Amino acid sequence: MTGMLPYGRHSVTEDDIAAVADVLRGDWLTTGPQVDAFEADLAGWTGGAGCAAVSNGTAALHVAYAAAGVGPGDEVIVPPMTFVATASSAVALGAKIVFADVEEDTFTLDPAAAAAATTSRTRVVSAVDYAGHPADYDALRTALGGHDALLLADAAHSIGASYKGRPVGSLADLTTLSFFPTKNLTTAEGGAVVTPHPELLKRARRFRTIGLVRERDEQRWPDEGGWHQEVHEFGLNYRLPDVLCALGRSQLRRLDDFLARRARLVARYDEALADLPGVRLPGRRAWARPAWHLYPIRVLDGRRREVYDRMRAAGIGVQVNYIPVHWHPAFADLGYRRGSCPVAESFYSQQLSLPLYPGLSDTDQDRVIDALATALRAGSVRSAAA
């Protein structure tokens, strides 16, 4: 019996293990030189924008919203086609979430919907680079018009992607990254906040370090002694340790290879599935170079659940990404209702993520393709017999 193929998995080499082991043999396990070095390495992928490494992707969102000054009375615009943390981390700071629908082809935030949702209370507009395809950032900037809201890119799926030739990380006021094992590179758990604005970067770094102020020229009581540090605004401990930063640095050296392999696998899926009845392939814009974290197909004719079950039974670990955020009971209990974002909701009813990760062999990908064709054919035969 062939084992279950996951929809995503990490790729760890002996070089990665050696990088971690070197740190374990050294003097710094956390808040040491590997953190600064990892942040500098990340900046090489973000157009030079400053980076603050944090403990995970959800922490990155929480830190970014805190750096933006999000609090009670503020509104944060979020597309529903994302992981719940894009919204819940802003709720944790007291914000009201305003959901705005997505575009039909990329399922990223619709600039027109964002414009319609923006008010004088909007503090942040959060775009999500769904599946690794960048949102339309120039159109979103235009949509903000004269409002002073900040634009945030939830780029958990898209490190290494580019928009009109510009790298993800340089496109928004704040960008958040995730380094979970299924992402395009991993630190086991980890994330980062990226921003070209020095003051936002300073606020992010303070929030991820419990709000501590160590600079004497900014302290209220700077003459207490060399040990002295103060908290002016509350933060949390969201630091990413040196051990994991060393893993991230080693992974970054292979990110080009990871992205290239994902692109080749996407091209093979595109070719093999182009004429398969009953599915629609992911869209992309000419100006985008996606990072392809996911390969999200649409299963038509109300057959997504059936195809999911058949492929899982065949050992193919397909996944659904994601339930619309406003459908979660936590948001339903706050009064959010189904039907408010019809494009995202229609997409959810059809969406299915096929396995996609650098270690996926051509042979295993062919197994995925055959299982999908078989699942679709089996249902069609049954319908014809009925």
In the three-class reduction of DSSP (H, G, I as helix; E, B as strand; rest coil), residue 264 is classed as helix
What is the spatial distance between Cα 159 and Cα 292, in angstroms, rounded to a whole number? 10
What is the spatial distance between Cα 125 and Cα 356, in angstroms, rounded to a whole number? 29
Give the CA count within 13 Å in the CB-facing half-sphere of 7: 19
What is the spatial distance between Cα 265 and Cα 357, in angstroms, rounded to a whole number? 8
97: which 2 tokens? Answer: 């979430």
Could you say which of 96, 164, 183, 202 is catalytic?
Answer: 183
- Contacts of residue 382, Cβ cutoff 8 Å, sequence gap at least 6: none
Q: Is 183 a catalytic residue?
A: yes
Q: What DSSP line would sit under 67-127, residue for residue?
A: HTT--TT-EEEE-SSS-THHHHHHHTTTPEEEE--B-TTT-SBPHHHHHHH--TTEEEEEE
Distances from the Cα of 114 to the Cαs of 104, 147, 293, in angstroms?
Answer: 14, 12, 24
194 with 169: CB under 8 angstroms? yes
What is the spatial distance between Cα 214 and Cα 229, in angstroms, rounded to a whole number? 5
What is the spatial distance between Cα 174 and Cα 68, in angstroms, rounded to a whole number? 8
What is the spatial distance between Cα 96 and Cα 15, in angstroms, rounded to a whole number? 45
What is the spatial distance between Cα 74 and Cα 80, in angstroms, rounded to a whole number? 18
Which residue in the block uniquely carries the two structure tokens 């971690």? Answer: 20
Task: Indicate which residues carry an active-site annotation.
Answer: 183
